[in-house]
Amino acid sequence: AHYGKDSFQPIHTPEEDEEYMLKPMNCPHHCEIFAWKPRSYRDLPLRIAEFGTVYRYEQSGELHGLTRVRSFTQDDAHLFCRPDQVKQEFLNVMDIIGIVLSAFGFNFEAQISLRDPNDHEKYVGTDEDWALAEKAIVEACQEKGLPAKVEYGEAAFYGPKLDFMIKDAIGRRWQLGTIQVDYNLPKRFQLEYTDEDNTKKTPVMIHRAPFGSMERFCAVLIEHTSGHFPLWLTPDQVAILPLSEKYNDYAQEVAKKFDMGGVRATIDLRNEKLGRKIRDNELKRIPYMVIVGEKEAADGTVAVRPQGGGEQSVKTIQEFIDEVNARVAEMTKDF
């Protein structure tokens, strides 16, 4: 029912008399990969990851920029595991999502999304399976000491989930990362593995997407930061501003050393006053402006001006390269 309700209409080819569907989710394809050959308990956990484009027929009134679209890319993975592995796999994914969101400067709220207790018709699976899945999520949050708000009616049709909610610059809440425990799809796809006692067992499936939708993530990141991206992510980390044209050669020399040192820099060679150059590059959200003139060229230094007009300082070229790289390393140390 979920597949039919949210997907585009089938595409019929008259000559071959075949029908094709635009893929609304990655889960069934990963189930088929699991099922293509016999699996042993020793194979588990089996983790399948994909940046996959999916298509959902959202109502036209629900479409909104990049945050609600009909075609989007999910950083999807499905972890097939034994029941005794569910908790640790879930904890591992929680760590991954926490690292990803923190690296982008997001503060997040956790939300445990459960099924509507008054409307079981729109969900698949037994009450027993739902209870097991909900228990796994609650225990994982407790073990991590992660406060989580419970929302009823927000579960996926096949299982409960832990959603990571972000507020943008104007206070709107968006769901980005998500983890879902699923006892139902493996049964519906008749997935099985041979256990240690040589009996056939059904694996548990964990769905995970740290970014959720890549398009939505990018949109919320831009809104959240107003374009002031983290230093490790921003396209240009430094703008080099020569005071006049006669210092352009030194600016080029500085840029070359920055490039060799792993610092991304652009040079503003326009014949404009320094104030205009600073203002224009501030609007480009470049984290650092490096000003070079007669003294800097003579001493082999740069005058560093942080974005937003922070305290200006003079450093050697290597000192500044080391500072930028140290900041980037600190921000990405858990990657």
Marked catalytic residue, from 74, 111, 175, 180 = 74
Cα-based angle 195, 200, 201 (whole degrees, multiple of 5): 75
Task: Let me know if 81 is a catalytic residue.
Answer: no
Task: Let me know if 29 is a catalytic residue.
Answer: no
In our burial notation (b when 16+ CB lie closer than 10 A, e otherwise), range 113-125 reads: bbbeeeeeeebbb
Marked catalytic residue, from 161, 201, 208, 277 = 161
Marked catalytic residue, from 78, 208, 216, 277 = 78
Task: Let me know if 74 is a catalytic residue.
Answer: yes
CA–CA separation, 90 vs 96, rounded Å?
Answer: 10
Task: Let me know if 56 is a catalytic residue.
Answer: yes
Is 302 within 8 Å of 290 (Cβ atoms)?
yes
Marked catalytic residue, from 31, 75, 76, 187 = 76
**Terminal CA-CA length for the chain:** 39
Alpha-carbon radius of gyration of the chain: 26
CA–CA separation, 294 vs 81, rounded Å?
Answer: 65
Task: Let me know if 252 is a catalytic residue.
Answer: no
Cα-based angle 158, 164, 168 (whole degrees, multiple of 5): 130
Contacts of 255 (CB under 8 A, 6+ apart): 240, 265, 266, 267
Q: What are phi and psi of 284, to 5 degrees?
A: -80, 0
Is 319 within 8 Å of 312 (Cβ atoms)?
no
Contacts of 10 (CB under 8 A, 6+ apart): 19, 20, 21
Is 254 within 8 Å of 318 (Cβ atoms)?
no
Task: Let me know if 88 is a catalytic residue.
Answer: no
Marked catalytic residue, from 30, 39, 56, 115 = 56
Number of Cα atoms under 13 Å in the Cβ half of residue 206: 30
Marked catalytic residue, from 187, 207, 208, 216 = 207
Is 303 within 8 Å of 292 (Cβ atoms)?
yes
Task: Let me know if 175 is a catalytic residue.
Answer: no
Q: Which residues are catalytic?
A: 27, 56, 74, 76, 78, 161, 207
